Amino acid sequence: MSDLTRLTAAELAEKIHTGEVTAAEVTQAHLDRIAAVDGDVHAFLHVDAEGALETARAVDADLAAGRAPVSPLAGVPLALKDVLTTRGVPTTCGSKTLEGWLPPYDATVTRRLREAGVPVLGKTNMDEFAMGSSTENSAYGPTHNPWDLDRIPGGSGGGSSASLAAYEAPLAIGTDTGGSIRQPAAVTATVGVKPTYGGVSRYGLVAFSSSLDQAGPCGRTVLDAALLHEVIAGHDPMDATSIDAPVPALADAAREGARGDLNGVKVGVVRELSGDGYQGGVLRSFDAAVAQLKELGAEVVEVSCPHFGYALSAYYLIAPSECSSNLARFDAMRYGLRVADDGSHSAEEVMSLTREEGFGAEVKRRVMLGTYALSSGYYDAYYGSAQKVRTLITRDFAAAFEQVDVLVSPTTPVTPFKLGEKVDDPLAMYLNDICSIPANLAGNAAMSVPSGLSDEDGLPVGLQIMAPALADDRLYRVGAAYEAARGPVLDKLGELEAAK
């Protein structure tokens, strides 16, 4: 493994911008790493070596000409989840329906990465249309967890998290509808952040559930995630839900937190996010993390959010309902897959046959659930009631944040399970998001930061930190303080690989 692939994004940026290495050298080192290990990991669906190196060389040319870097991350390569449109580069959303589709435009996140001089290494694997918790629902095969290739890397953004843990990329972009950034981060010992809803543009993010979807940064350190968050955040007039407000000083908050002082910070432990169904090793790791926060000077209290117990049920009515509406656009008439197009079938038959072949089982399940919940006679009983529960959960958060600055919980109730273990049990799969879903329903900011390895199986565990909307900087201060005190976790994976 190249020494360059072991460095953090912040370290790579400093070396590139001071001329110690070139952006092209850094990018090539990561492309070489992908070539060496991705056959086993399968983090990427498409590698854009030419495009990444072209961006890197442009950064090098600017620096050689004496021009300042266009951003703090200029020249640092990144892996992009395959749900964000990328002009001229395949964007499949992990589905046969969009196999081979070359978007004619960039998502706002993609455009901002280009403008920041960030080389995009390629597009990462994901559960089809972001529906899943294990990346086993991809039409192109599962991604494997670098900690144990027989285990899941989380989902839906397992490709992004696995690329980080396998040292194939120093940065990645994910999207989080019910935990799809944070849950993969937890089970791969990486950092993943769901920004405040509306804090990062959704323009060009292929929609699953429009009121819940949120793109966000993934990295191996809290500071790296903060630097990336600042690049992609900010108001976008192309997104009607985009917040027109200044982006907090996230990198500064991370640097402040890394000094290890949480005096004056009040932390709430959510009573409802623990107990039955949680692995013992996960709970013990969480208790140790809370103790560490106390040692850093934080005041820790228990907080009750009584309606969190209904979050999973509400989510699996709201998200499928919005999915049912959003996926209606894939009608075999305008773009994407089209089957039985031989002139002997009606448009309705072509549409039905195309959806039957193009959509996987989980997507079909959620479309049917959502269509039923929105149907005449059931709308108020199901979708309408779920939205009322959503309001109650939002009020729980508001009441909690009157008492504390941040809330904490385990990110996931269990460590990464074996591939194939839960594919035939949708409810068991859905329960993996029980801790992460409330923040999506309320639109709050949330982060997963590694909290060590379970004492049961030696596999990664994540600490979830939640903050009020527009207070994303609190995540980075608390997360960086905890990270500095805890010490590196992912290094242990590097040691395991070296031992092999």
Q: In what order do the strands lie in the sheet with 266-270?
A: 44-47, 120-124, 78-81, 171-175, 215-219, 191-194, 445-453, 460-467, 406-410, 266-270, 299-303
The two structure tokens encoding residue 163: 């690329």
**Peptide bond between residue 313 and the one before it cis (omega within 30 degrees of 0):** no
- The yes-or-no answer on residue 180 being catalytic is yes
CB contact at 8 A, 310 and 441: no
Catalytic-role residue among 156, 242, 321, 451: 156
Catalytic residue among 15, 71, 81, 324: 81
Buried b (16+ CB within 10 A) or exposed e, 279-302: bebbbebbeebbebbeebebebee
Task: Please confirm, yes or no, whether 81 is among the known catalytic residues.
Answer: yes
Q: Which of 138, 161, 163, 180 is catalytic?
A: 180
Do 133 and 183 meet the contact criterion of CB atoms below 8 Å apart?
A: yes
308 burial via Cβ count (<10 Å: 0-12, 13-18, 19+) = buried
How far is Cα 228 from Cα 448, in angstroms, rounded to an integer? 15
Q: Are 58 and 117 in contact (CB under 8 A)?
A: yes
Question: Could you write out the DSSP letters of every residue in 185-240?
Answer: HHHHT-EEEEPPTTSB--TTB--S-TTT--EEEEESSHHHHHHHHHHHBS--TT-T
Active site residue 133: no
Q: Which residues are the active-site residues?
A: 81, 156, 180
